[in-house]
Chain A
């Protein structure tokens, strides 16, 4: 079991991609938020893509983290897209109403095509 999660962050064009891994709870959401924000501020990206393929658990702390990054992207006139959600994370996405404001796609490639970066 992995207690410390790692977040892979990459920049392509105007899209910052963050791929957190492990459990997106209170503890990990704080770390991930800091990592994404500092990378975003250093970059000239407008959009944020959160790739959820390696996330095994999420609670409302993860939802709060995603809404916060949505607002970050908005400050630069960009969008936030979430890709590769599992069944587990999808349900929370529905309950929270996040599905109404955040664009969700199946793969990171679809997201990049949509946001105009390259995979």
Chain B
């Protein structure tokens, strides 16, 4: 199992960096165009959340992304050491957002759940959040 870890500053331009890295990692598994798009979108959502919600856009902070694969099951962990989530259940609700003034619409977790096989959230207020995204790629 080949595992990689990327640590990046919590800055907006690194969201596309995270997408590029995950796309490069899964390329040898030959995902479908759709699967690739789904994984890139879910990663984009989780990294954006870490920056905006976890760290309140403080770009000196660090977001970590770990990727591994077992056969055709890809697992991606996205971790921040930010504010954490008070109520995970409501955070997962469609249209739930704590930042409506920033034109956020509470769709990130809904999109992650729609696009991935499994989405797990581990979060502790004041300590941070880890989102685990799992995708089972179809046979090629």
Contacts and interface: CB of A to CB of B under 8 A. Distances in A.
Contacts of B94: 97
B111 A59 contact: yes
B107 A68 contact: no
Nearest to B106: A60
A68 B97 CA distance: 15
Contacts of B103: 29, 33, 64-65, 67-68
B56 interface: no
Contacts of A27: 12-13, 15-16
Interface in A68-97: 68, 88, 92, 95-97
B96 to A, nearest CB: 12
Q: Which of A30, A33, A88 has the most CB of B within 10 A?
A: A88
A97 B110 CA distance: 11
Given A92-B41, A96-B105, A61 B110 contact: no
A63 B15 contact: no
B88 interface: no
Using C-beta atoms within 8 Å of the partner chain, give the interface range for chain A.
20 to 34
A29 B105 CA distance: 13
A3 B16 contact: yes
B107 A96 contact: yes
Nearest to B102: A64
A95 B52 contact: no
B9 interface: no
Contacts of A60: 45, 48, 104-105, 107-108, 111
A60 B96 CA distance: 13
A59 B45 contact: yes
Interface in B21-52: 37, 40-41, 44-45, 48, 51-52
A95 B107 CA distance: 9
B50 to A, nearest CB: 11
B37 A25 contact: no
A33 B110 CA distance: 23
Contacts of B105: 60, 63-64, 67, 96
The 4 closest A-B pairs by CB, nearest first: A27-B12, A64-B103, A60-B107, A59-B44
Interface of B: 12-13, 15-16, 19-20, 37, 40-41, 44-45, 48, 51-52, 94, 102-105, 107-108, 110-111, 114
9 contacts: A25-B19, A26-B44, A26-B52, A33-B103, A59-B48, A59-B111, A60-B108, A60-B111, A67-B105
